[in-house]
Every structure is written in structure tokens, then in C-alpha cells.
């Protein structure tokens, strides 16, 4: 009797595994994130990159119509690639650029800014990576366009291209 239950359970378990693995074959490997736009930004407290002082989200997101939050790190090669785009965006006066330095060595990060220029009006630090998760970040670099009601209106996963800059500029305009 005991044996029979065991066998039935095993059969169920195996068919379940088969089903799942079979299904997994169909799903593609290209990942499309769910729509995270039109989402209200949660409040948070972080640390300023240069002054090391505590700073709240309300202090960060004030005084501008649009904000760009860019998650970056000096060890991330694509971030380096998108840096010129950020520099371009920093010239647009109606956008305030916020950098989120992700799990980085401050020394290397400063070196990068010195070398390629600093497009950000404020940089906050995310040493543990928790803040980026809270934002719904998928990987770096990632860029969020935020309006003055602190709503995320657009997300760019991966490095910003010329096209994304055009898109941002057309929204902000």
C-alpha cells in the first residue's frame, strides 16, 4: 500500500517535471520585461556619492520637470559606452540627471567621472544593490525617465543609444 502511494506520487512528480521542462523549451531566451512604466516611485533614503551624507528621495527629485535616473558602475563596460549619451542629455536643462552608483568602488567610479566627465547633478550610492532592486532594475546599465509627479514614464534596459536620447528629448521637449 505504502509502495503504491509512493509510486503514484513519483509518477505525478515526474510528469510535472516533464511538463515544466517541455514548456521551458518553448519559451524563448530573449527577455522582455513586464511593463514597469507609469509606476509611482517609492520613497527611499540614500547616501550622496561625494559628501557621504544621507539624502532622501524627496530632496533628490525636486526642482525640475523631468528626471533621469541612471544605474551605472565603473566596472560595467556598456555603461562606459553610454556615457557620451548621458553627457548629451545633461545639456538639456529641463532634465535633472541622477546617477545611481551600483556596487562600485568609489575610487574607480571617481576616476571614470574624471576621465569621461560627470553628467549627473547628483549621484547616490547603492553599495548593497538593494536600492536598484527596489527600483525594479534588471541589470546595469538601466535608465529610468521620471516625471515631476515622481512617476516612471519610460525605462531603458541596457546602454542608451542615440535613438533613446532622441526619444527622451522628444518626450521632454
Partner 1 sequence: MLANHIGHYSLVMGLMASILIFLLSLKSYKLKTIDKRIFSISFLQLFFVLISFTSLVICFVISDFSNETVFNNSHTQKPIFYKISGTWGNHEGSLLLWLLVLTLFLILFLINSKKELKRYRILTITFQQIIIIGFFLFVLITSNPFNYLFPRPIEGLGLNPILQDPALAIHPPILYVGYVGSSLIFSATLAAVIENYISKDWAKNIKIWILISWVFLTIGIMVGSIWAYYELGWGGFWFWDPVENVSLMPWICLTALLHCVLVLEKRELLKSWTIILSIATFTLSMCGTFLVRSGILNSVHTFANDPSRGIFILCFLFFLITISLIIFFIFNKEKQKDYKKIYFFSKEVSILVNNWFLMYFLSVVLIGTLYPIFLEVLIDHKISVGPPFYNKLIVPFLIFFLIFMSLGPNLKWIKETNVKNKFQLIIFFFISLIISLLIYKKIGQTNLINTALIAASLYLFIVTIKDFFSKELYNFSKKISHFGFSLLILSILLNGILSSEAIINLKVGEKFTFKNEKIFFKSIENNKKENYQSVVGYFTVEDDKKNIFLFKPELRIYDQPAVITSEADIKTTLFRDKFLVMNTIKGNEYFNVRYQVKPFMIWIWISTLLLAIGGFLSLYNRLHEK
Instruction: Tell me the residue length of the chain.
Output: 173
Q: Which stretch, 54-62, 70-78, 91-99, 152-160, contacts partner 1 (CB under 8 A)?
A: 70-78
Compute the half-sphere exposure of residue 72: CA atoms within 13 Å on the CB side of its CA.
Answer: 30
Nearer to partner 1, 10 or 42 (CB): 10
83/72 Cα distance (integer angstroms): 9
Nearer to partner 1, 24 or 93 (CB): 24
Nearer to partner 1, 74 or 155 (CB): 74
Cell output for 31: 527577455
Cell output for 115: 576621465
Told to check if 24 binds partner 1 by CB under 8 A, we report: yes
- Choose, by CB under 8 A, the member of 1, 5, 21, 130 that binds partner 1: 21
Closest contact distance (angstroms) between CB of 147 and partner 1 is 28
Nearer to partner 1, 22 or 93 (CB): 22
Which among 78, 89, 67 is positioned nearest to 140, based on CA atoms?
78
**Is cis: bond before 66, omega within 30 of 0?**
no
Nearer to partner 1, 15 or 56 (CB): 15
Told to check if 105 binds partner 1 by CB under 8 A, we report: yes
Told to check if 134 binds partner 1 by CB under 8 A, we report: no
DSSP β-bridge partners for residue 67: 96, 146
Q: Name the helix (H) or strand (E) containing 86.
A: helix 77-90
Closest contact distance (angstroms) between CB of 173 and partner 1 is 29
Amino acid at each position: 500500500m505504502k509502495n503504491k502511494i509512493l509510486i503514484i506520487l513519483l509518477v505525478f512528480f515526474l510528469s510535472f517535471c516533464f511538463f515544466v521542462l517541455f514548456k521551458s523549451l518553448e519559451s524563448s531566451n530573449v527577455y522582455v520585461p513586464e511593463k514597469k512604466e507609469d509606476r509611482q516611485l517609492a520613497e527611499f533614503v540614500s547616501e550622496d556619492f561625494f559628501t557621504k551624507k544621507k539624502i532622501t528621495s524627496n530632496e533628490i527629485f525636486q526642482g525640475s520637470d523631468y528626471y533621469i535616473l541612471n544605474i551605472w558602475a565603473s566596472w560595467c563596460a556598456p555603461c562606459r559606452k553610454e556615457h557620451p549619451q548621458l553627457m548629451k542629455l545633461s545639456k538639456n536643462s529641463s532634465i535633472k540627471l541622477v546617477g545611481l552608483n551600483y556596487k562600485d568602488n568609489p575610487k574607480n567610479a571617481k576616476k571614470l567621472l574624471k576621465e569621461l566627465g560627470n553628467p549627473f547633478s547628483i549621484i547616490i550610492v547603492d553599495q548593497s544593490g538593494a536600492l536598484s532592486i527596489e527600483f525594479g532594475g534588471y541589470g546595469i546599465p538601466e535608465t529610468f525617465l521620471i516625471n515631476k509627479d515622481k512617476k516612471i514614464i519610460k525605462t531603458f534596459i541596457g546602454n542608451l543609444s542615440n535613438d533613446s536620447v532622441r526619444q527622451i528629448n522628444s518626450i521632454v521637449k
